[in-house]
Amino acid sequence: MSGHLYIVSAPSGAGKTTLVRLLLAQDPGIRLSVSYTTRAPRTGEVDGREYHFTDVDSFQGMVGRQEFIEWAEVHGNFYGTSRVWIESEMAAGRDVLLEIDWQGAQQVRKLFPQAIGVFIMPPSLAALEQRLSGRGTDSAEVIARRLAAAQAEMRHVTEFDYVIVNDNLQQALTDLCSVVNASRLRLEVQRGRHSHLFETLI
């Protein structure tokens, strides 16, 4: 039986990466798709863990060979998701999670309309600005640009199946786990997983 495909999107600073990390630590049944990017690694990031870091020419070559299920330019850098890896994981019955923006989510849905979309919202713009400033990695100009982009990104929230407001991290994690658990309990999933039981009892 094919695995689930989860799409988790959010504006920068909403806490998406933290929530996904906590979910993966709690649920070993989900595999994280590691994207390719042309941006430079941040302090502490490891190639192949946070991202597959590559240069623009190599990235464009992969685009030309149609090796990405989706790709986009975000804040002047390119990001893309491997099509082959995702298809092989799902075919093996493993759940896959994509941590991508709304543009990538639109592209993925064209090929995987059954993908489950989750959008992470900040409790307010003020809280979002505080989180971005707290990173200490971006200038005031960059933060202002990210806030403007965040407002534009949040207009696409209606394209997702579930919305989680990350006001309290533990509650947001509980909500995200609930989405995953609910998807695994859907009738068609349980019927496929417990076919003998259904044939015996029904």
For residue 18, pLDDT over 80 is answered with: yes
pTM of the model: 0.83
Asked whether residue 177 carries a pLDDT value surpassing 90, the answer given is: yes
Indicate the pLDDT class of residue 25, thresholds 50, 70 and 90.
very high
- CA separation, residue 93 to residues 2, 42, 55, 85, 90 (Å): 4, 33, 33, 13, 5
Q: What is the CA radius of gyration of the chain?
A: 18
Q: Is the pLDDT at 58 greater than 90, yes or no?
A: yes
- CA 149-101-161 angle, 5° bins: 110
pLDDT band at 126 (very low <50, low <70, confident <90, very high): confident
Please return the burial class of 55, using the count of CB atoms within 10 Å of its CB with bins 0-12, 13-18 and 19+: exposed
Length of the chain: 202
Burial (Cβ within 10 Å: 0-12, 13-18, ≥19) of residue 151: exposed
Q: What pLDDT is attached to residue 136? A: 64
Mean pLDDT of 46-55: 94
What pLDDT digit, counting tens, does each position of 66-84 carry? 999 988 898 899 999 998 8
User: Do the beta carbons of residue 118 and residue 102 sit within 8 Å?
Assistant: no
Q: Which domains does the chain have, with CATH numbers?
A: 5-33+94-201 (3.40.50.300)
- Whether residue 169 is predicted with pLDDT greater than 90 in this model: the reply is yes
